[in-house]
Amino acid sequence: MNVTVIGAGTMGNGIAHVFAQSGHAVTLVDLDQSRLDAALGTIDANLGRQVKKERITAEQQEATLGRIATQTDLARGVSEADLVVEAATEDATLKAKIFEQMDDAAPEAAILASNTSSISITQIAAATRRPDQVIGMHFFNPVPVMTLVEVVRGLATSDATYETVRQLSEDLGKVPVEVNDAAGFVSNRVLMPMVNEAVFCVHEGVATAEAVDTVMKLGMAHPMGPLTLADFIGLDVCLAILEVLHRELGEDKYRPCPLLRKMVAAGYLGRKSGQGFYTYD
Ligand code: CAA
């Protein structure tokens, strides 16, 4: 299958990695060639980890990289796609624009999927003339490691589109879970209030970030504490998701903590900016 991935950030490069690894021809699209080059470097390094752990061979690493082409022009990038997975910034206006352009340039039969973590699939689909072929394909970071794909059905998503994406997710070695279109779907509706509450604990002086994380790691067996996880996801992404939950569901329990807003305003975005609840080299 020809798969095009839009956006070469953390999620985009992980998605390109897993599709290429399972034998698909991948075109990775971003506006900026330097971001594409950086993404290929990251994919190479992550494949290198798998080689070191003897999960794949050096030949498979080379072959996987060889299946990934890059493109800075969106229309050209989707022109031969059977499936497009959009993993651009979490911004509803931007996504609507990208889907409109993809709808114009992609083959008629192509499925247009979004990796959005909280924006309505029904709303994204409305920007196209093929809402029955639009679906959410929500992966988790690090994509090569996390086995879940939250498959989100918009109001108009057809059974055929759902079935293709479900089967494809299984072929990638992932476990697809069917979810209907609602703010934050299941994953972030459950995860983000916990992350937000952890930030409130620091904001209100209940405990330090380290203490909050240790409680959740050792007491609840979470692989990462919620604030380490927030830094890993990106504090800007966490804030954007909470804003959607708060706006769409209209309840105070989703109100983003003022400390989270303040940190994002300061450019403390977590691991990717070098500073969040923790400092990174
Ligand atoms: N690519 C390939 N392999 C990777 C990798 C990557 N990017 N990152 C880690 N790995 C591999 C390692 O090589 C290692 O492999 P083995 O099991 O074969 O040894 C394995 O993953 C574990 O890695 P580490 O030993 O380096 O570190 P760890 O044991 O501390 O695990 C972690 C790291 C997998 C990230 C773990 O801490 C974890 O599961 N954290 C929680 C992650 C999580 O919750 N993600 C979801 C975030 S929410 C989201 O993404 C969606 C959203 O909408 C916001």
Do 118 and 185 form a contact (C-beta atoms < 8 A)? yes
Residues within a 6 A CB radius of ligand 1: 46, 49-50, 53, 55, 117, 140-142, 144-146, 187-188, 223-224, 229, 233, 237
Q: How far is the CA of 146 from the centre of ligand 1 (A)?
A: 7
What pLDDT digit, counting tens, does each position of 23-69 carry?
999 999 999 999 999 999 999 999 999 999 999 999 999 999 999 99
203 is catalytic: no
Helix (H, G, I), strand (E, B) or coil at 114: strand
**Beta pairing partners, 84:** 4, 112
| Domains 2-180 and 188-272 agree in fold | no
Q: For residue 205, name the pLDDT band (cuts at 50, 70, 90).
A: very high
- Which residue ranges are tagged as binding site for NAD(+)? 7-12, 30, 90, 95, 117, 141, 272
Work out the mean pLDDT of the chain and round it to a whole number.
97
> pLDDT band at residue 271, thresholds of 50, 70 and 90?
very high
pLDDT of residue 256: 98
Please tell me whether the peptide bond between 131 and the residue prior to it is cis, using omega within 30 degrees of 0: no
The pLDDT score that the predictor gives to residue 208 is 98
What CATH number matches the domain at 188-272, 4.10.780.10, 1.10.1040.10, 3.40.710.10, 3.10.20.30? 1.10.1040.10
pLDDT confidence of 233, banded at 50, 70, 90?
A: very high
* Ligand 1, atom 38: closest residue by C-alpha: 223
Write down the pTM of the prediction: 0.95
Residue nearest to atom 53 of ligand 1 (CA): 117
Predicted pLDDT of residue 248: 93
The pLDDT assigned to 45 comes to 97
Residue 25, beta-bridge partner list: 2
Give residue-wise pLDDT tens across range 183-192.
999 999 999 9
pLDDT digits (tens, 9 = 90+) for 89-125: 989 999 999 999 999 999 999 999 999 998 999 999 9
Q: So what's the pLDDT on residue 214?
A: 98
Q: Which pLDDT value is given to residue 137? A: 98
Candidate list 86, 118, 150, 187, residue with the active-site label: 150
Strands 148-153 and 134-138: antiparallel
pLDDT at 84: 98
Average pLDDT over residues 80-88: 98
Longest dimension (CA), the chain: 55
Average pLDDT over residues 268-280: 97
The residue count of the chain comes to 281
Distance between CA 275 and CA 35 in Å, rounded? 21
Rounded distance, CA 193 to CA 197, Å? 6
d(CA 110, CA 102): 10
Q: Which fold has domain 2-180?
A: Rossmann fold (3.40.50)
- 226 CB neighbour count, 10 Å cutoff: 26
Distance separating alpha carbons of residues 145 and 5, to the nearest angstrom = 18
Overall average pLDDT of the 222-230 stretch: 98
The DSSP bridge partners found for residue 69 are 27
Kindly name the residue from 114, 117, 120, 187 that is annotated as catalytic: 117
pLDDT reported for residue 269: 97
Domain ranges of the chain: 2-180, 188-272
**CB neighbour class for 96 (10 Å; exposed up to 12, middle 13-18, buried from 19):** middle
Tokens 């994002």 belong to residue: 264
pLDDT recorded at residue 42: 97
- Looking at 2-111, list the stretches that DSSP marks H as alpha helix, in order from N- to C-terminal side: 10-21, 33-52, 58-66, 74-78, 92-105
Kindly give the pairing relationship between strand 68-71 and strand 134-138. unpaired
